Amino acid sequence: MTNSAVLIIALTLWGEARGECPEGQRAVASVIANRARARGLTPAQVCLQPYQFSAWNGRKLADLLPPDSRRRTPAWLRCLLLARELNRGDFTPSGPWDHYVRHDCWPSWRKAAVREDRIGEHVFMVLQ
């Protein structure tokens, strides 16, 4: 049985990084962990903040659930594992990042990055 906080985190990871390599999924989890620590929120609260993770924009939990056949894939199982670590508080971030974006996306806020690291299809950043 998966509790709702773990499911929220796992669905965020799934929606944002299911096609990424394991390091990319872990980097997205790192952004969640770093934001939670900096903002004094739980990882699940960070995931549900408006317009923080595009996977949730205009969607509900049921909209993000992968079909049963996808719930046995390595990508989904990694998302669950990372979500459990985040929820328990024993996740160690793989970097200091607090934002990320697809490598080919240039939102105006990206100019504030003081560090950028590319992992897979995303660029992970620390903003000023």
The ranges assigned to domains in the chain are 4-94
Q: State what percent of residues in the chain have pLDDT above 70.
A: 98
Segment 65-108, tens digit of pLDDT: 887 767 778 989 999 999 999 999 999 999 999 999 999 999 99
pLDDT at residue 69, as a whole number? 65
**Does the pTM of the predicted model rise above 0.85?**
yes
Architecture of 4-94 per CATH?
Orthogonal Bundle (1.10)
Q: How far is CA 69 from CA 16, 94, 121, in A?
A: 19, 30, 25
32 and 41 in contact (C-beta within 8 Å)?
Answer: no
How far apart CA 126 and CA 14 sit, in angstroms, is 22
